[in-house]
Chains A and B, each alone.
Chain A
Amino acid sequence: MATAAARDTAGSRAYGVTAGADDTAGHQHAFDAAVAADERIEPRDWMPDAYRATLVRQIAQHAHSEIIGMQPEANWITRAPSLRRKAILMAKVQDEAGHGLYLYSAAETLGTSREELLDKLHSGRQKYSSIFNYPTLTWADVGAIGWLVDGAAITNQVPLCRCSYGPYARAMVRICKEESFHQRQGYELLLALSKGTPEQHAMAQDAVDRWWWPSLMMFGPPDDESQHSAQSMAWKIKRHSNDELRQRFVDICVPQAASLGLTLPDPDLKWNEERGHHDFGAIDWAEFWDVLKGNGPCNEQRLTRRRRAHEEGAWVREAAAAHAAKHSNGETGATRA
């Protein structure tokens, strides 16, 4: 809860409308004090416009990533090699759609709408995580995504459970619980392959070789090239720098790879006694920026499919609205048995 002074006591201020200039200094002071005291900023509280804009951008990008992120995994639903794995994968993709819904709701508390955000995604004005622009070429990729991509996401997102903006922090608590489950399932899938036939082991190794570096890029550019980091950390939206989280992730993955019986594709990867961390090789930042610019292997395919689902579904959404308008007394529902 933010301090009473930071609240708009009238409770009627429209979203996105800043208070009169004479109040701004007082509001800013109360906001800074609330953030400094680790209190939560809530939707009806005054907040700086830039704080609001940063959160909308970040939460929207996060929501978009959940939705686009369904595609590489859905690619394998119809080919899953056992019914148990098929059920796990379906449940996971369903969870991701649910995460998207939580996050769009969290973004809406900042005065935007899901329609507007989807429109920005479809027109390329808002981004999603670059990792989803890589293709899932074999069944083992489903495991590598669970272990590495969800693992990186969790490393990134657990600190967001303490984010200064309340609705985002609360969404992250729910999401991280489910993500941890997905991550363990991915690890377990890879373990089964690694300990399976030679062909299955090779499939697992190949997937890890392809997904390792893109997963490291998920933490964003190096600290000295990250535009928003310093401000986000000052606002306590972020709690740790990109490089700090990336290092944490590498340190977690090395022993896990060893227990999987798989290697990580980095000849420079080794324990550094002095630092108490693993040193690792140089990331190909040219590739990172290139994928971000839209030139990755699947950028075009992912957005096209998302747009098409939206366009092909337009008649359904129009019908639902028309029906609701005709039956505004709510007599639609077939009764539950």
Chain B
Amino acid sequence: MIPRAGHSVLRQARTQLNRRTGPTPIASLSALARLLSSLAVLEQKDGKLNHGSLGAVTAAQKLGGSITGFVAGGNIKAVAAEAAKVSGIEKIIAVDNAAYDKGLPENYAPLLVENIRKGGFTHIIAGHTAFGKSLMPRVAALLDAQQISDITAIEDEKTFVRPVYAGNAIATVESSDDIKVITIRGTAFAAAEAEGGSASIEDGVDPKAECTTEWVSENLAKSDRPDLATAGKVVSGGRGLKSKEDFDRIMLPLADALGAGVGASRAAVDSGYADNSLQVGQTGKVVAPQLYLCAGISGAIQHLAGMKDSKVIAAINKDADAPIFQVADVGLVGDLFDKVPELTEKLKQ
């Protein structure tokens, strides 16, 4: 752990250097970078590393300093070996205990805290995923740190950028905590390269904390289509689809024609046209694909919060005044029941 004074010294020193050489990435100031050490909390499921969680490594690279990856679960060796190949990681801490398989925060948080204390890390980084959202605030509280959630950019080792008010404002915050506990927005930090690294693997400490919660079951939507959160293209349907049958009949062929993931507005999800897990927006998934093509979505700000960082937005809506057209790069006013099948056919050609 770096005492609080350490930070201001670090900052001062860098300001001096910046004056001479202009803005310098932290990583290149090796003497200072050595003071920073980040722990990237990596997710695993059924003995496989979740590559979506490698954005934490990318964020750690932006901070500079050493990067350690953390994995825990039963038969963790294969996951640790996979994580050791991730570019940029120096060391993997692995805890082999099936009690951590389901990532239950009640025992995972004390586990992480023990390893953070032992390793003296200055920054703890995880994805703002269901796992990260449930675990990291608990870790932060145990470390008496105020977590910084869902960041989209790193300015320096204690200054971070995060959207608030459903993305309608962007706040820059400076943390005075000794240990920074951070979750990152996946769409803002691309996953680190899964190959090219050669980290050492070390056993972590295992406090074997008691857990008053047990995992019972899960019910995950099965789909061969690209995962919504990481898909390069997303097609999304809203209330205008009118029924689940129409949603499936109209939107799914378009998704297949484009090789796209499928999303939905809250209205479509609440009306039962699409599964909950497909919801895009403030309370659902945040996506930022190359192409976001939506039909029958008016563009409420809660929905825009989940997709407005998409590279290209295309919209089909019969209401020419729908707010979605204010953000769409390509807008088409028309009945989606005609236009979407026509689009699907023409894309197939």
Q: Do A and B come from one complex?
A: no
